[in-house]
Amino acid sequence: MFRFVGDPIENMLGQERTDADVERLRDQLGLDDPFLLQYWNFLADAVQGNLGISFRQGRPVVEVLIERLPATLELAFISALFAILFGVLLGVYTAIRSKGWLTNLILTVSLVGVSLPTFLIGILLIYLFAVELGWLPSFGRGDTVQIGWWTTGLLTISGLKAIILPAITLGLYQMTLIMRLVRSEMSEVLNSDYIRFARARGLSERTINFKHALKNTLVPVITITGLQLGSIIAFAIVTETVFQWPGVGLLFIDSVQFVDIPVMAAYLMFISVMFVAINLIVDILYVIVDPRLRIEGAN
């Protein structure tokens, strides 16, 4: 399906290419092979851990991906953290104080965040915090520190400053989603018999809300949130483009424009792997949180 995105030849040969060059390169890359054969070759190589060489950078795709992964994973992690932290906090607050003016304000304002496209929010944040106020950087990761093959921006001041705006941009939508989910699940749990029974036992509101209600709320929240984490990584495409965040999303967009087929294919494989991993983690978390599943598993 990559053939529809464009022709890589054009980018690989310069302005001074002749038609003979085009034919030679096309042949060399195997682009004239039947589509299925191309796909088969890709799969055969991928199984051996060989994802090919980037047309654009002339480096092994695996190396390029590994170089870019930390940036995206850190960004996704921080925005997921942001989304979950604030989503759960605000969700719990709005569920407990279901009628207050502040609750209505939070609910309405959070909707503003999902009523504008992500890229616009990112650009507006840059305009406000980088250009007008000059508080935070407008692009990039800041300084990074190397730990093994992993580069992290979370250990330097400039790295931390740099992640704030992209993380908010990326996490805003998920935060709203989680908040609403927590709110509705928690309202339901708060009406359940065991919460009423806990009240009847004289437990404090604090214990009821945070020990009994929240934990039960989290069971369904974990599934949806977990599955949504996949979309954090995907939406990183937009955020990384806006903030010039050197992650795999930006790599993907560059690759689409350059028609760097090996990188695009590898990115899609990466997303699939993420899917499997996320599903696995969600299942594990589920078992940790919900004892009913633990028993079934043991049997």
Partner 1 sequence: MKLMTLLTSSAAVLTLAGGVSAETLNWARAGDSLTMDPHAQNEGPTHALASQIYEPLIQRDMSGKQVAALATEWGPKADDPNVWAFTLREGVTFHDGAEFDSEDVVFSFNRAMSTNSNMKELLSSVVEVRAVGKYGFEIVTDGPNPIMAANLNDIYIMDKGWSEANNAVEVQDMEGGEDTFAAKNTNGTGPYTLVSRVPDNKTVLKANPGYWGIGQFPLEITEINYTPIKNPATRVAALLSGEVDFIQDVPVQDLGRVDADANLKVVKAPQNRVIFFGLNQGDADLTTDNVDGKNPFADLRVRQAMNMAINREAIQKVVMRDQSIPAGVAMPPFVNGWTEALDSIPAGNIDDAKALMADAGYGDGFSVTLHCPNDRYINDEAICQAAVGMFAQIGITVNLDAKPKAQHFPQIGNLTTDFYMLGWGVPTYDSEYIFNFLMHTKGEKRGSWNGTRYSNPDMDAKIVSLASETDLAKRDATIGEIWSQVQEDLLYLPIHHQVLNWGMANKVETPVSPDDRARFKYFTLN
Partner 2 sequence: MAMLDIKDLTIEYPDRHGVFQATKNVNLTVNRGEILGIVGESGAGKSTIGNAVMGLLQSPGRIGQGEVYLDETRLDTLPFEDMRKLRGKKIAMIFQDPMTSLNPLETVESQLVETIELHLKLGSAGARARAVSLLDQVGIPDPEQRISQYPHEFSGGMRQRVVIALALAAEPDVIIADEPTTALDVSIQAQILDLIRDLCREKNVGMILVTHDMGVISQTADRVAVMYRGKLVEIGDTKQITQNPQHEYTKALISAVPPSNMRIDRFQHVGFGKEGGGLKEFDLNNHWLGQGRSDEKGDAAILQIKDLNKVFKSTSGFLGSKGVETHAVRDVSFEVSTGQTFGIVGESGSGKSTIARLITGIHKPTSGQVVFEGLDLLARPKSRQDLLTKRQIQMIFQDPYSSLNPRMRVENIVAEPIIVNNLAGSRAEAISIARDLLQLVELDDTAGRRFPHAFSGGQRQRISIARALASRPRFLICDEPTSALDVSIQAQILNLLKDLQARLNLTLLFISHDLPVMRQMCDQIAVMRYGEIVETGDAEGIFVAPQHSYTQDLISLMPKFERLG
Partner 3 sequence: MDTLKQFLASDFFYSFRRTPVAVVSFCIAVILILSAVLAPVIAPYNPFDPATLNLMNGFSKPMEPNAFTGETFLLGTDDQGRDVFSTILYGMRVSLFVGFAAVLLALVLGVTLGLTAAMAGGRTDAIIMRIADIQLSFPAILIAMLIFGIAKGITPPDMRNQMAIWVLILSIGLSDWVQFARVVRGAAMVERQKEYVEAAQLIGRGPFTVAFKHILPNVVASVLVIATISLALAIIAEATLSFLGVGAPPTQPSLGTLIRIGQGFLFSGEWWILFFPATTLLLLALSVNLLGDWLRNTLNPNMD
Residues making contact with partner 1 (CB under 8 A): 5-22, 25, 28-29, 52-60, 63-64, 67-68, 123, 126-127, 130-131, 134, 137-146, 149, 151, 156, 158, 161, 241-244, 246, 250-251, 253-254, 256-259, 262
Q: 214 or 264, CB closer to partner 2? A: 214
C-alpha to C-alpha distances, 21 to 14, 15, 24, 38, 256, nearest whole angstrom: 10, 12, 5, 21, 23
Under the binding rule (CB under 8 A), the answer on residue 209 touching partner 2 is: no
Which parts of 103-132 interact with partner 3 (CB under 8 A)?
104, 107-108, 111-112, 114-120, 123-124, 127, 131
What does the block give as tokens for 57? 């950078």
Closest separation in Å from C-beta 254 to partner 1: 7
Residue 247: how many CA atoms within 13 Å on its side-chain side?
Answer: 32
Q: 153 or 262, CB closer to partner 3? A: 262
CA dihedral 237, 239, 243, 247 (to 10 degrees): -40
The burial of 292, by beta-carbon neighbours within 10 Å (0-12 exposed, 13-18 middle, 19 or more buried), is given as exposed
Which residue from 27, 104, 196, 284 is in contact with partner 2, where contact means CB under 8 A?
Answer: 196
Gap between the Cα atoms of 293 and 299, Å rounded: 10
Among candidate residues 147, 153, 176, 150, the one with its CA nearest the CA of residue 235? 176
What does the block give as tokens for 208? 């009821």
Which parts of 240-279 interact with partner 2 (CB under 8 A)?
none
Gap between the Cα atoms of 111 and 115, Å rounded: 6
Binding map of partner 2 across residues 143-182, x = CB under 8 A, - = no contact? ----------------------------------------
Q: Which does 104 bind (CB under 5 to 8 A by kind): partner 3, partner 1, partner 2, none?
A: partner 3
Under the binding rule (CB under 8 A), the answer on residue 280 touching partner 2 is: no
Under the binding rule (CB under 8 A), the answer on residue 297 touching partner 2 is: no
